[in-house]
Structure 1
Amino acid sequence: MPVLPSLPSLPPFRAIHRRTPRTVPGTPGGDGATMVNCAAYVDGVRQELCSDPVSALNRIREKNRGFVWVGFHEPTAAQMSAVAETFGLHPLAVEDAVQAYQRPKLERYGQYLFLVLKTVKFVDHASTGNGQIVTTGEIMMFLGADFIVTVRHGEHSGLAGLRQKLEADPQHLALGPAAVMHAIADRVVDEYLAVIADIEEDVDEMEVAVFSSDDVDTEDIYLLKREVLSMRRAVTPLAVPLKTLSGSPSPLVPGEVRDYVRDVEDHLSLVTERISTFDEMLTTLVSAALAEVTTRQNEDMRKISAWAAIALVPTAIAGIYGMNFDYIPGMHSPIGFAVSIVVMAAVCVLLFMLLRRRGWL
């Protein structure tokens, strides 16, 4: 099991003094849109007058306890550059946070961790024009000893309700920024479980349709299989970061929080197993649907061949007596026409009964 190296102790606190308080672009008083939220927490209680990262960081370092939680939604490079300067974030991690489209991962940069989570949401088929049924987003976290910066990408990954829930439980929030990290990871994995439940309903409906008389378009099965694979790409890589957080001692993640993370890891294992099961089931359904199509095509060909055989008898008789010869039996008989009609009808009925008994008609 990999062990995270211990962090060096933080340098003695020195308050951040500026003649003019510096604001992060995108925060109140900045030159862009308002950032989602910024707060300082001491002993799990939100502090007043800490609406920007600089004042919030000054407050908790003056008290020498607590942490700052800053949240952004799809920030610009200028916004993240200002935050990086305030909290000492690495430029490579900041670049990942701005550009997004990252795989779930956990990286260490100096005295903080950088964690990426993929968020998912199930979308009703009728509301998507391109057939997509699982949309993805991202939540990135910079976890330090006295701060956590969250960066969201996507419209379905809001954390406002989670922040209110945590603020209602100061005892848990007093565990530090790692408690926020756990709560976000737990919520993301719970969303995985909800999406898995919705996908399971679709898989069950698809299975019933394949093995019933309803016509099933294999394209629908491939669409569902593609979305399951998209879920796998979002879920599977997260197992290693959670295992590292839950099993490797680190000053940034207290032992009590590691126990909570271990529970999230167990839920993620359940999601991974369900996804593998769905993938195998859909592969089987594709094979079954193709076999069903082949069987129906064979049945259609047998029916066509049976009717062609029946039609061949009167065609052959009519063709023979239609030839220009005088010496054909019954050609000049007054009842020749009636006899030929009766013979053709009798043979056709006999063939129909034989083919019907064999299941061709």
Structure 2
Amino acid sequence: MTDVQRTGADAVIGDCGLYTAGERVPGRVPLREAAHAADATDGYVWVGLREPTDADIAEVAQEFALPSLAVEDAVHAHQRPKLEVYDDVVFAVLKPVRYVDHVEVVEITEIAMFLRPQAVVSVRHGEGGVLRQVRAELDAGVPAEEDFGPAGVLYRTADRVVDAYEVALGHIDLDVDDIERLVFGPGDDDHSERIYKLKQEVAEFRRAMLPLQRPLERLAAGEVPHVPAAAEPYFRDVHDHLLRAVDQIEVVDRQLTDVLQANTARVTTGQSRVALRQNEDMRKISAWAAIALVPTAIAGVYGMNFEHMPELGTRYGYFVVLAVIAGACVALHRAFRRNGWL
């Protein structure tokens, strides 16, 4: 049956497989037979849904007796990473990330998982690379140290999610180093827009990562039912990797803050230098304008058509006026030079 032919819950089910003794039973299990198929073996069934609606997930929720509050959270997404226990159902939310380097954007998707003793129901929103990789490993028989059943699916998924955190942080580190070189290098360009954007992406990243600490801590400490004691060291290892990633993102956030302050200080200093140069230029222009005002004013007076004016009838009046103009200009020039305006 093709995706085009499937309707209802089947239309959003990416796969429905039965796993026993650490291996997948060949073929796809029909949804209505999934719970019975798991009960008939010592294995478990894994149903994977992609962006279901309330109507799409209703049949699955009924088949596996999923808690309604958790189902609502899984369908509507936009949840914080968390781990909740409802009787014999464990509900977990993970937030995988992927860093798109060429646009410096952190893409965040969401995975909700319901774990029962013999069943896993996963709901993904966005790109499903993590779940595809986990299922591909299980289908190919890639062994873990031990088969932990549904808890093993959660472990493999959480491990890949946290590994992706570290990969994304490595790319972000390179971009932060590049910004630092630009800010502390030659030139007066303002890089605040790029820094603000990257800082916003890091903040989104932190919101996807930090709340996962407590769920993994509970899994590692054996506080969650249906998680075998043998699986606790594996969750502890994932938790340690997450703590390392949390420390790294805190360092990156502080670096961006420091770089932003340095960029602001450099831009402010550059603007002050420009303002100082403009002020010096204005003083020079004002000084030369004042000097030029003297001959302009005197020439303007003598340019008026009056018959009786001082010096018009004297033989050396012209030279006297020129001398006055020259003397006044020289005196003003020396005064401006002495005051630092020229």
Which of structures 1 and 2 has the bigger CA Rg? 2
Range class of TM-score, shorter chain: 0.7 to 0.9
Among candidates 114, 139, 142, match of residue 169 of structure 1: 142
Q: Cα deviations across residues 172-221 of structure 1 (Å, max 9, x unaligned)?
A: 56321101100000111111111111111111111111122250231221
Find the aligned partners of 1:261 and 1:337 in 2 and give their Cα distance.
96
Alignment partner of 1:135 is 2:107: yes
Q: Cα deviations across residues 85-120 of structure 1 (Å, max 9, x unaligned)?
A: 111101111111111110101001110100001111
Q: Which stretches in structure 2 are left out of the alignment for 5+ residues?
A: 302-308, 312-316
Find the aligned partners of 1:215 and 1:208 in 2 and give their Cα distance.
12
User: CA 1:40–1:350 in structure 2 vs 1: closer, same or farther (change >3 Å)?
Assistant: same
CA RMSD of aligned residues (A): 3.2
User: CA 1:340–1:209 in structure 2 vs 1: closer, same or farther (change >3 Å)?
Assistant: farther
Find the aligned partners of 1:138 and 1:268 in 2 and give their Cα distance.
17
Q: What secondary structure is seen at the aligned counterpart in 2 of 1:106?
A: strand
Q: What secondary structure is seen at the aligned counterpart in 2 of 1:139?
A: strand
Tell me the residue number matched to 1:60: 38
Shift of residue 248 of structure 1?
2.4
Q: What secondary structure is seen at the aligned counterpart in 2 of 1:149?
A: strand
Q: Could you tell me which amino acid in structure 2 is paired with residue 139 of structure 1?
A: I
Among candidates 150, 159, 168, match of residue 186 of structure 1: 159
Tell me the residue number matched to 2:182: 209
- Indicate the structure with greater helix content: 2
Q: Could you tell me which amino acid in structure 2 is paired with residue 71 of structure 1?
A: G
Q: Cα deviations across residues 92-150 of structure 1 (Å, max 9, x unaligned)?
A: 11111111110101001110100001111112444xxxxx7112110011011111111
User: CA 1:156–1:41 in structure 2 vs 1: closer, same or farther (change >3 Å)?
Assistant: closer
Q: What secondary structure is seen at the aligned counterpart in 2 of 1:101?
A: coil
Tell me the residue number matched to 1:22: none
Q: What secondary structure is seen at the aligned counterpart in 1 of 2:109?
A: strand
Find the aligned partners of 1:166 and 1:88 in 2 and give their Cα distance.
25
Percent of aligned pairs sharing the same letter: 37
Find the aligned partners of 1:274 and 1:85 in 2 and give their Cα distance.
43
Find the aligned partners of 1:95 and 1:287 in 2 and give their Cα distance.
43
Shift of residue 244 of structure 1?
0.5
Q: Does the 8 A contact of 2:284 with 2:341 survive in 1?
A: no
User: CA 1:344–1:211 in structure 2 vs 1: closer, same or farther (change >3 Å)?
Assistant: farther
User: CA 1:76–1:263 in structure 2 vs 1: closer, same or farther (change >3 Å)?
Assistant: same
Q: What secondary structure is seen at the aligned counterpart in 1 of 2:96?
A: strand
Tell me the residue number matched to 2:304: none
Tell me the residue number matched to 1:199: 172
Shift of residue 38 of structure 1?
0.8
Matches within 5 A, 1:1-361: 30-31=7-8, 33=11, 35-63=13-41, 65-126=42-103, 133-167=105-139, 168-170=141-143, 172=145, 174-212=147-185, 213-324=187-298, 332-333=319-320, 336=323, 339=326, 343=330
Find the aligned partners of 1:27 and 1:140 in 2 and give their Cα distance.
25
Find the aligned partners of 2:256 and 2:176 in 1 and give their Cα distance.
7
Q: Could you tell me which amino acid in structure 1 is paired with residue 73 of structure 2?
A: D
User: CA 1:226–1:355 in structure 2 vs 1: closer, same or farther (change >3 Å)?
Assistant: farther
Shift of residue 342 of structure 1?
8.8
Find the aligned partners of 1:90 and 1:237 in 2 and give their Cα distance.
22
Find the aligned partners of 2:173 and 2:65 in 1 and give their Cα distance.
44
Shift of residue 29 of structure 1?
5.3
Q: Which stretches in structure 1 are left out of the alignment for 5+ residues?
A: 1-25, 127-131, 357-361
Find the aligned partners of 2:5 and 2:144 in 1 and give their Cα distance.
29
Shift of residue 278 of structure 1?
1.5
Q: Does the 8 A contact of 1:50 with 1:59 survive in 2?
A: no
After TM superposition, the score normalised by the length of structure 1 is 0.80
Q: Does the 8 A contact of 1:139 with 1:151 survive in 2?
A: yes
Matched pairs, number? 324
Q: What secondary structure is seen at the aligned counterpart in 2 of 1:75?
A: coil
